[in-house]
């Protein structure tokens, strides 16, 4: 039996830094938006900020998903565990769904904001639903990667 070395997952330091900065920027944008949507009576006073933050979130989310897909860190973690491929494909497919959702919310916010009496409460509800879906998606990605890495490392041995 040939002596096989276990594969190692390597992460480029510059890529890792870019991912960290991306996650921080996403968290900051979502926190600001949650702060605005949590104070519904005052939301109308911050309509331009709300619209701007939604557009920034849309753009940052595009970068976030592009980084995940371009650098393939997802694939590295799953390479040795093909039983997770279907779940990984499903999660990757959610990138487009989530991006289109935040794009639609951002566009709706621009349209509503231009009205004389903007009703941003519906947009706030849409953002909160998006935020829940995005957090569930990110959690599922993290759990999948951790489970694949735990199997690879033989946790519990």
Q: 132 is written with which tokens?
A: 């829940």
8 inside domain: no
Is 11 part of any domain?
no
Q: 5-9, 26-30, 47-51: which range is least confident on average?
A: 5-9
Q: Residue 83 belongs to what domain range?
A: 21-153
User: Does the predicted TM-score (pTM) go above 0.85?
Assistant: no
Is residue 1 situated within a structural domain? no
Please give the tally of structural domains in the chain: 1
Query: Is residue 82 packed enough to be buried (19+ CB in 10 Å), middle (13-18) or exposed (0-12)?
Result: exposed
**1 pLDDT above the threshold of 50:** no
pLDDT, tens digit, for every residue of 52-108? 999 999 999 999 999 888 876 566 656 666 777 888 889 999 999 999 999 999 999
Write out the DSSP string of 7-66: P-----HHHHHHHHHHHHHHHHHHHHHHHHHH-HHHHGGGHHHHHHHHHHHHHHHHHHHH
- In-domain check, residue 13: no
Label residue 130 exposed, middle or buried (CB < 10 Å: 0-12, 13-18, 19+).
buried
- Tokens 């959610």 found at: 94
- Please check whether residue 5 lies inside any domain of the structure: no
Q: What pLDDT does residue 12 have?
A: 65
């Amino acid at each position: 039996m040939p002596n096989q070395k276990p594969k190692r997952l390597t992460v480029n330091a510059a890529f890792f830094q870019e991912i960290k900065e991306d996650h921080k920027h996403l968290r900051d944008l979502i926190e600001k938006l949650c702060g605005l949507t949590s104070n519904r009576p005052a939301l109308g006073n911050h309509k331009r900020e709300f619209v701007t933050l939604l557009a920034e979130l849309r753009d940052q989310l595009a970068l976030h998903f592009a980084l995940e897909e371009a650098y393939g860190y997802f694939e590295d973690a799953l390479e040795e565990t093909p039983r997770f491929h279907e779940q990984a494909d499903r999660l990757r497919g959610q990138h487009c769904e989530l991006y289109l959702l935040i794009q639609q919310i951002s566009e709706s916010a621009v349209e509503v904001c231009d009205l004389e009496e903007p009703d941003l409460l519906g947009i706030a509800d849409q953002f909160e639903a998006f935020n829940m879906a995005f957090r569930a998606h990110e959690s599922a990605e993290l759990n999948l990667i951790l489970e694949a890495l735990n199997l690879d490392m033989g946790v519990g041995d």
